[in-house]
């Protein structure tokens, strides 16, 4: 899964520090981040990938970039203010799903987490209570209103995903808003006031009209692409297997026999891990 980078280490401890040329620079604009082209793929740019003027001008490269976290000691910084000059043949603004395709797994995680933070900050420029400009906390990862002291922490929305089985068949589906044409599993956000297990049962009932039993926790993973933390579960069919698909959410839902499920790569998503867990018994 995307967060599994051992023996490398993600250090999320809050601190304030200046960037070094070899640190990573996240430039976030209108929901996209600036990535460096490398062959047919992308990499997260370093400070040294930009012009020498940008590197040597402290008021731009240091005062306007704030530290987020590090992986193996190499920091990730988010740029405030104007974007540095760049060669359009070497750089491109990309949506955050692009991070899922990066070959370097540390940059895949680092870029996705940094973009999660950048997106959260972009939504909290002004205080939701009094409308004043927010400031970054100097003691923790939070946005604080200097006027009314309203404090906002990063948004992490809980999501459940479940592999529902009926003997040697797995319930598989495709969400209408997923550009990947492959089938995956039933998932959804947890509602206020319900447990994770209750959310599993509700989502399955809402999306395909069946009941489940023996709901068991499988694993969890951060999912920066939707500002989420995903909890994975397994469950079994309880009663009638007839599917009544929620067509405004799903484009397809069906029972698939174990031998008809193709292999899924498990290096990014918990959905693939759950599918592979069932496919390999």
The residue among 122, 153, 126, 160 whose CA lies nearest residue 137 is 153
Q: Output the pTM of the full model.
A: 0.91
Mean local confidence (pLDDT), 232-253: 97
pLDDT for position 13: 97
Residue 181 to residue 174: CA distance in whole angstroms: 7
Query: CB count, 10 Å around CB of 238?
Result: 16
Mean local confidence (pLDDT), 193-199: 98
* Burial (CB count <10 Å: 0-12, 13-18, 19+), residue 54: middle
pLDDT for position 265: 94
pLDDT for position 210: 97
Q: Confidence band (pLDDT; 50, 70, 90) for 179?
A: confident
Residues forming beta bridges with residue 259, ordered by sequence position: none
Mean local confidence (pLDDT), 216-233: 97
pLDDT for position 63: 58
Given the structure tokens 């899922």, which residue do they identify? 100
Mean local confidence (pLDDT), 82-97: 89
* H-helix or E-strand spanning residue 158: strand 157-166
pLDDT for position 200: 98
Residue 27 sits at φ, ψ, to 5 deg, of -110, 115
Question: Contact at 8 Å (CB) between 101 and 107?
Answer: no
Q: Which two tokens stand for residue 144?
A: 């604080």
The residue among 123, 177, 126 whose CA lies nearest residue 155 is 123
Q: Confidence band (pLDDT; 50, 70, 90) for 60?
A: very low
pLDDT for position 185: 98
Q: Answer with the residue of higher pLDDT: 11 or 84.
A: 11
The per-residue pLDDT of the chain, averaged, comes to 94
């Amino acid at each position: 899964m995307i967060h599994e980078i051992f023996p490398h280490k993600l250090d999320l401890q809050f601190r304030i520090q200046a960037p070094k040329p070899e640190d990573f620079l996240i430039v976030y604009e209108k929901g996209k981040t600036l990535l460096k082209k490398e062959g047919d793929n992308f990499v997260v740019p370093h400070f040294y990938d930009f012009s020498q003027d940008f590197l040597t001008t402290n008021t731009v490269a240091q005062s306007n970039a704030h530290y987020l976290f590090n992986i193996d000691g190499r920091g990730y910084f988010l740029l405030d203010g104007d974007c540095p000059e760049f060669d359009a043949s070497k750089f491109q603004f990309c949506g955050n799903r692009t991070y899922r395709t990066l070959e370097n797994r540390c940059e895949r995680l680092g870029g996705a987490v940094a973009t999660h933070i950048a997106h959260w900050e972009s939504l909290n420029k002004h205080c939701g209570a009094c409308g004043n400009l927010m400031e970054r906390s100097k003691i923790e990862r939070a946005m604080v209103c200097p006027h009314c002291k309203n404090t906002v922490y990063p948004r992490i929305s809980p999501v459940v995903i479940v592999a529902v089985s009926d003997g040697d068949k797995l319930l598989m589906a495709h969400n209408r808003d997923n550009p990947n044409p492959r089938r995956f599993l039933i998932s959804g956000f947890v509602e206020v006031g319900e447990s994770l297990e209750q959310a599993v049962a509700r989502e399955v009932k809402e999306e395909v009209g069946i009941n489940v039993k023996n709901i068991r926790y499988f694993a969890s993973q951060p999912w920066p692409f939707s500002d989420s933390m995903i909890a994975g579960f397994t469950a079994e069919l309880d009663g009638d297997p007839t599917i009544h698909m929620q067509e405004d959410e799903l484009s397809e839902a069906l029972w698939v026999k174990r031998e008809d499920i193709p292999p899924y790569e498990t290096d990014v998503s918990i959905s693939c891990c759950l599918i592979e867990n069932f496919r390999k018994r």
